[in-house]
Amino acid sequence: MISAHLPVLQVVIPLIAAPLSVFCRRESMAYYLTLAVSLAALAVSVALLRQVLDQGTLSYALGSWAAPWGIEYRVDAANAIVLLIISGMSTVALPYTRVSIAREIEAHSHVLFYTCYLLCFTGLLGMVITGDAFNAFVFLEISSLSTYVLVALGARQDRRALTAAYTYLIMGTIGATFFVIGVGMLYMMTGTLNMADLAQRIPPIGANRTLVVAFAFIVTGIGLKLALFPMHLWLPNAYAFAPSAVTVFLAATATKAAVYLLLRFLFTVFGTDFHIFGPALTYLLMPLALLAMFAASTVAIFQVDIKRMLAYSSVAQLGYMVLGISLGTLTGLTAAIIHIFNHAVMKGALFMALGAVVYRFGGASIDHMRGLGRLMPWTMAAFVIGGLSLIGVPLTVGFISKWYLIAGSLESGLWPLAVLVVASSLLAVIYIWRVVEAAYLDEPAAGATAGEAPAGLLIPTWIMIGANIYFGIDAGLTTEVAEQAARVLLGGAK
Amino acid sequence: MTGADFLGLFNYWIVIVLMMLGLYTVVSRGNLVKKIVGLNIFQVSVFLLYISIGKVRGGTAPILTGDPNEVYSNPLPHVLILTAIVVGVATTALGLALVVRIKNAYDSIEEDEIQAADDEMEFGAPADGKDAYGKEKAP
């Protein structure tokens, strides 16, 4: 009985828990509520993934109002893996979050922190599971508004968190409004908001200027949320000044949900037959992805604050994902979807290691990293393995993504792309080596006496590193699901 | 384009004008509150766009009257816009709350002054005793 309602439970459980958490008197109550919700959401995601792998696409009509008049939740392989990433990351990161925010956020704000966390969680899950275009906008805004609050909570450490949150608010709202303009134009031309129905009504209209403008608005709006170069300007400051636990959660989930939304609109709603689909991928997404890979990696090399360095690195990694999308082939899409999972695991681990440094030293600049190889051996070992994964060394999860990207480029006959992917990985070597050199080959700053991070921070970090290595050695499950997701996307809405 | 076409598409021209006004205000004004006002103008243009496309010629308000031959305007865009208005209100409230916090932290809500304060924090005070914009610093 419950299994019939799993799609709606995925969203309803965190949604109901969010206002309930406001009534929690103590931080521990709010924490255990959030942890229980996260575990429940994880269980639902795993069950949904299994159902989808067995039965194919699931369709759930909200309130029993049949699509396309009612709102439909549609789960296929592409959704299910992103749902699993979001709920999985949240569950692993929550114990880490509790220890980390004890140092970084005022005690009286902790309960409200968990409320905003649950709202952000709801928004991300809803954005991914919904099959209705306007519903996607609503959940996008729910997740974005709570993210602005979560970023601003870093103001106790550094007041620049407030301006970072404000800039993110302005840019994020413009992006979401562009998205809703595009959806409005699609509604104007087709009379429906349901994604599968749009997919059927758009091809008969043919070449129409309103559809082209709708396409442009939607891609731009989602691109802003995705931090697609050059609309990434909000991301470095937001990640650098937010509390460490918030950066861990956002880096692993928020932009991935936007990548999923881009995939859904490009391949399912507009479809590969849309007359400007090919040119948009080749002449718009591919150059922007290449620019992201190189420009962001180069800027990362010169950053003093390591959190900001990893934020620019995230922009570059998003460039890899968009490059995979712009190839438009099965291998290219598989590469993009695998990288969604792999990047969540890599960046989650790296930001967790950095958060441990912030916990002990109050900051994560290159000066704080000097000599940490001796003072915090486990944390730095985690950072090194995460860094190797970022570069794409074999046996780590980053290698799998790079492999598929290069295979996809060669398959499309674009061998210069393969060369460029390798070249930008070499840029990653430079900025990772900077940190490794400071940690292992430099002396600690005078008076630095803090020891290793507490177990509450180290254990989630090493769970993520374990996932890095495990899925790097045995990538069978992730590649199989990603390939099935790519097949579903290329095959159109079913 | 004839005069009749222009008047018939009047709503859409206003949508474009408001959209551009709103975006220009966000970009060009340095005062944080003015940016939020610009964002609101931009969002209002989107509301007008949605409601304009919902109007059916000869249609009345979409409330059932019991008359079987009645023509109604499309109620769905109205519903979508109610949702979007709420999102806009929440965004404005959150933005203004952030501006209050910024005012408490920086003692200013002008973007250039805040940027100058941040630059000073990151790179140190300018050497010639003037602030980053060449003005004499207050004693």
Calpha distance A187→B79 (Å, rounded): 13
Q: CB of B51 within 8 Å of any CB in chain A?
A: no
pLDDT at A494: 39
Q: Calculate how close chain A gets to B95, using CA atoms only, in Å.
A: 7
DSSP letters, A178-212, are: HHHHHHHHHHHHHS--BHHHHHHHHHHH-S-HHHH
Chain A CB contacts of B106 under 8 Å are 159
Structure-token pair, residue A466 = 């374990």
Calpha distance A177→A218 (Å, rounded): 9
How many residues are recorded in chain A?
Answer: 494
Q: From B86, which residue of chain A is nearest by alpha-carbon distance?
A: A138
**pLDDT tens figures, A173-217:** 999 999 999 999 999 999 999 999 999 999 999 888 999 999 999
Calpha distance B102→B90 (Å, rounded): 18
Residue A492: pLDDT band with limits 50, 70, 90: low
- Residue B134 pLDDT > 80: no
Tell me what percent of the residues of chain A surpass a pLDDT of 70.
Answer: 98
Chain B CB contacts of A167 under 8 Å are none
Enclosing H/E stretch for A74: strand A72-75
pLDDT at A364: 86
Query: What is the value of pTM for the model shown?
Result: 0.93
Determine, for residues A145 and B94 on separate chains, whether the beta-carbon distance falls below 8 Å.
yes
Determine, for residues B105 and A141 on separate chains, whether the beta-carbon distance falls below 8 Å.
no
Q: How many CA atoms lie within 13 A of A489 on its CB side?
A: 28
pLDDT at A179: 96
Number of Cβ within 10 Å of residue A352's Cβ equals 33
Q: How far is CA A390 from CA A297, A313, A339, B71, in A?
A: 11, 9, 11, 61
User: Mean per-residue pLDDT for A7-21?
Assistant: 93
User: Mean per-residue pLDDT for A266-273?
Assistant: 90
Nearest by CB to A173, which of B39, B50, B99? B39
pLDDT at B127: 67
Q: Calculate how close chain B gets to A145, using CA atoms only, in Å.
A: 7
**pLDDT tens figures, B12-50:** 999 999 999 999 999 999 999 999 999 999 999 999 999
Calpha distance A411→A415 (Å, rounded): 9
CB under 8 Å to A112, separation ≥6 — which residues?
A22
pLDDT at A213: 94
Q: How many CA atoms lie within 13 A of A28 on its CB side?
A: 0
Tell me what percent of the residues of chain A surpass a pLDDT of 90.
Answer: 73
- Residue A8 pLDDT > 50: yes
Residue B67: pLDDT band with limits 50, 70, 90: confident
Calpha distance A411→A423 (Å, rounded): 19
Question: Between residues A35 and B1, which one has the greater pLDDT?
Answer: A35
Structure-token pair, residue A389 = 């994964």
Nearest by CB to A162, which of B76, B83, B98? B98
**pLDDT tens figures, A338-371:** 999 999 999 999 999 999 999 988 888 888 888 8
- Find where tokens 């990351």 sit: A89
pLDDT at A493: 42
Mean pLDDT of chain A, nearest integer:
91
**Helix/strand/coil (H, E, C) string of A293-308?**
HHHHHHHHHCCCEHHH
